[in-house]
Amino acid sequence: MTPHSMSIPARRLAALLLAMAPLLAMADGPYAWPEPGGGWTVRRVVETGGTPAARTETLTRDQAMVVDGSDGAPAFEVRLRAPADRAPDALNVESDAPLFVVADIHGEYGILVELLRHQGIIDAALRWNFGAGHLVFLGDAFDRGSHQVAVLWLVYQLQGEAEAAGGSVEFLLGNHELLALRGDVRYLHPRYLADADALGVTTYAELFDADSVLGQWLRTRGAILRAGDVLLAHGGISPQVVQRDLSAAALSRAVREVLDGRADSARPPLHDFAIGSSGPLWYRGYFARGAAAPEARAEEIEALRRHFGVRAILVGHTALDEVSALFAGRVIGVQVYPARDAGTGRAVMGAVRRDRGRWYRAAVNGDRSPLEIAPQPAESGT
């Protein structure tokens, strides 16, 4: 969605926010683009005497980029890399391999850092501390919160460090990545429209165009990941996936093609499905809605497990009071919305952890409690 395709109320809101730009703009960024001859152009918003201003710097190929400290977390360095390859559709990991799964962050950078530090995934300097373990983010770094850029750079940097240590970091696309990269600003924190204005771009999405480091990296991420004996997605895997005999690779490819703009003019049915309400970015059918029972039935969940050959499906997207095992542990709802208690400042956020084959709910303060996950199904699919 471009500004021209917004509804009238959305355009009025955007105009109002841009008019308030001097009041809302904060130190922001960095945003980076590769230079044709090597090196990088880095742009950010800085505050000079309370006035926001754009700053551009050029880094050599070997220079690290600094992400300033924010939201109670320290500054850290990022080593920019060559354009990312397409993310894997599967990780060949053992059923007892260390695994840590984080759902929707929504720009709550400080809370994410607390969670990862107290659980031992990163150290006090925000460096990778999980050895050969595997860290998976279930999407929705964008929107609502005010520190989404720092979140993205931390994930990006940890991915490089994890690979060097024999581990991995994977980031799955959520519905808010889809919205943000396609120019839909309805859920964007107001500061980012103001910062875009300070940087002289017409739309915020331009800062994540396909040539930018983060924009290119995001457009190569997947929508579904099989990690050994579990399947991970942002929203969920609907029973229609089995009915259509779709693979994780086909769905991720369709989402990437939409983000690349290769499917916008005449989307085939698969593209419509992949980014629709029954696709992996938006599906909520595992969860009860008020008094209504979940849309998905137990036998359909079992069919999904057999189709993908996994014991459980881990998802975010739908906020819960705690990390929850549904359908007798066949589905795990991971998202506990990141927030701070107004009185105490205590952070709340959920995650899932596997250590030595045992599963746990993981809390921001470092606590963990047992989590029951279903055994492998008797029959495995493809």
pLDDT digits (tens, 9 = 90+) for 345-368: 999 999 999 999 999 999 999 999
- What average pLDDT does range 310-320 have in this prediction? 98
Q: Is the pLDDT of residue 163 over 60?
A: yes
pLDDT digits (tens, 9 = 90+) for 258-290: 999 876 555 678 999 999 999 999 999 999 987
Task: Using only the alpha carbons of the chain, give its radius of gyration.
Answer: 20
Q: What is the pTM of this model?
A: 0.91
User: Helices in the chain by DSSP H: which ranges?
Assistant: 8-19, 21-24, 109-118, 148-164, 175-181, 190-198, 213-218, 240-243, 248-259, 269-274, 298-308
What is the CATH architecture assignment of 84-370? 4-Layer Sandwich (3.60)
Between CA 323 and CA 349 the distance in angstroms is 9
The residues spanned by each domain of the chain are 84-370
- What average pLDDT does range 179-200 have in this prediction? 94
The DSSP annotation for 208-236 comes to G-TTSHHHHHHTT--SEEEETTEEEESS-
Between CA 230 and CA 305 the distance in angstroms is 9
Q: Is the pLDDT of residue 329 over 60?
A: yes
pLDDT digits (tens, 9 = 90+) for 45-78: 998 777 789 999 999 999 999 999 999 999 999 9
Neighbours of 138 (CB within 10 A): 27
Confidence of residue 20 (pLDDT cuts 50, 70, 90): very low
pLDDT of residue 273: 96
pLDDT of residue 48: 78
Q: Is the pLDDT of residue 21 over 70?
A: no
pLDDT of residue 47: 84
Q: Is the pLDDT of residue 13 over 70?
A: no
